[in-house]
Structure 1
């Protein structure tokens, strides 16, 4: 049986990686704002920390979270992790273009491959959870991230929540978002189909909170919302 990380990586093949930077900004209205605010939330939580080591899980594609954090905090260092080789290659190209490879370690594979040694001051998990099938896989990833965070360290969690079919108005508005960017009705169906393929988002904001509590994190503060998407800051307990 394939692991959930392997299944997710297979979804993000070369074709999807090549279009990710453009398509993700259409699918998520406010894509850049979400990543910028995530950096601001971490900086606000960590306060006047002179340096920090940040784990970016699922950073493949644009590496936008790292670019945003690095611009705000010139003394932070990063670990970019992604199980998809094409997505990680795309991220590496962005890191190189922004002169950030000297501040970023790049790891191809699941976060479970990293030592569980509480070495990170903060972490981001953006656009990942809704691609994992079932709550068990989501908990497994959250616990793996927790094991690599220092006590009290902040975690940014962002992604889709709500079962898509339960929110027909939001789903219809999502289709209109593509049409707004020039897609035909047939193209809209294809775009939505690709987005929905294998996706299993938590079914509510309360479900997100429950997952975090189950995995040893505090109540989360939401700081961004866009249609199905939400973004929260939580902290490791203990």
Structure 2
């Protein structure tokens, strides 16, 4: 999916403010990711796929002063916001930002870990497995993949129940809880949800170890797997 029409200049500038309702979830996710990466080398290299406005880089860079980060994103507007935030956080000298996709990343660097947080649900389902194969090529032996995405099986009988909590979350920044049918339509138009077990299968088929499902908050799931 080409998301540049979504992540345009105005959207990018307002992205963090518009997603503040996810702050508690994101803080918990970043905290758990830090625990899972706690034993990486002091000079670890981290690749952030779909880096957006750079929140995961900032979180981990301020805690790990020797880590170096590469962030890749197809949206120049998001990267512009990201670069400004990295400069304000005084960590820009340890960060490289690349406009584009995984195949635009130089292949002369192997990474200790790849973070792909809340990105893959924008990728066409037919292309999803290939993303994990491309990520694996860029990891060191025993390197780690951490992926988080909005996931769910929209065909199951209890999906409406799952969606009701998601609707309440959306209402934090809106005066009214959206109708479930309206929310389903929005999810279908903007996101490409897979059942969590399908994502696990794709990661495994790409050559990773069986992924460990370490986090869920409403429809947001996260896994860690090793090469």
Deviation, structure 1 residue 190: 7.7
What is the CA–CA distance in structure 2 between the aligned matches of 1:185 and 1:213, rounded to whole Å?
37
TM-score, scaled relative to structure 1:
0.85
What is the CA–CA distance in structure 1 between the aligned matches of 2:122 and 2:181, rounded to whole Å?
19
What secondary structure, in the 3-state scheme, does the structure 2 residue paired with 1:231 have? Answer: strand
Could you tell me whether the CA contact under 8 Å between 2:167 and 2:178 is conserved in 1?
Answer: no
Partner of 2:203: 212
Could you tell me whether the CA contact under 8 Å between 2:8 and 2:75 is conserved in 1?
Answer: yes
Deviations 1:182-219 (A, max 9, x none): 43356998887655433112212x21210101111111
Deviations 1:160-186 (A, max 9, x none): 111346411121221112223443356
Taking structure 1 as reference, are residues 176 and 64 closer, same or farther at Cα in structure 2, changes over 3 Å only?
same
Equivalent of 2:195, from 180, 191, 203?
A: 203
Could you tell me whether the CA contact under 8 Å between 1:127 and 1:159 is conserved in 2?
Answer: yes
Partner of 2:76: 85
The reply to whether residue 59 of structure 1 matches residue 51 of structure 2 is yes
Partner of 1:15: 10
Deviations 1:11-65 (A, max 9, x none): 2222322222123332575112212321221224x2xx2211110111112x111
Partner of 2:141: 151
Where in structure 1 are there 5+ consecutive unaligned residues?
A: none
What is the CA–CA distance in structure 1 between the aligned matches of 2:102 and 2:215, rounded to whole Å?
25
Where in structure 2 are there 5+ consecutive unaligned residues?
A: none
Taking structure 1 as reference, are residues 97 and 127 closer, same or farther at Cα in structure 2, changes over 3 Å only?
same
Could you tell me whether the CA contact under 8 Å between 1:117 and 1:147 is conserved in 2?
Answer: no
What is the CA–CA distance in structure 2 between the aligned matches of 1:170 and 1:191, rounded to whole Å?
12
Could you tell me whether the CA contact under 8 Å between 1:163 and 1:200 is conserved in 2?
Answer: no
What is the CA–CA distance in structure 1 between the aligned matches of 2:179 and 2:10, rounded to whole Å?
16
Alignment of 1:102-117 (within 5 A): 102-117=93-108
TM-score, scaled relative to structure 2:
0.88
User: Which stretch of structure 1 is more off in the superposition, 207-216 or 21-30?
Assistant: 21-30
User: Which stretch of structure 1 is more off in the superposition, 136-145 or 149-158?
Assistant: 136-145
Taking structure 1 as reference, are residues 147 and 132 closer, same or farther at Cα in structure 2, changes over 3 Å only?
same
Deviations 1:213-235 (A, max 9, x none): 11111112222211011111111
What is the CA–CA distance in structure 2 between the aligned matches of 1:17 and 1:128, rounded to whole Å?
15
Could you tell me whether the CA contact under 8 Å between 1:133 and 1:198 is conserved in 2?
Answer: no
Could you tell me whether the CA contact under 8 Å between 2:46 and 2:113 is conserved in 1?
Answer: yes
What is the CA–CA distance in structure 2 between the aligned matches of 1:14 and 1:186, rounded to whole Å?
26
What secondary structure, in the 3-state scheme, does the structure 1 residue paired with 2:139 have? Answer: coil
What secondary structure, in the 3-state scheme, does the structure 2 residue paired with 1:69 have? Answer: helix
What secondary structure, in the 3-state scheme, does the structure 1 residue paired with 2:35 have? Answer: helix
Deviations 1:96-153 (A, max 9, x none): 111111110011111111123452111100011111111x311121111111111110
What is the CA–CA distance in structure 1 between the aligned matches of 2:5 and 2:29, rounded to whole Å?
26
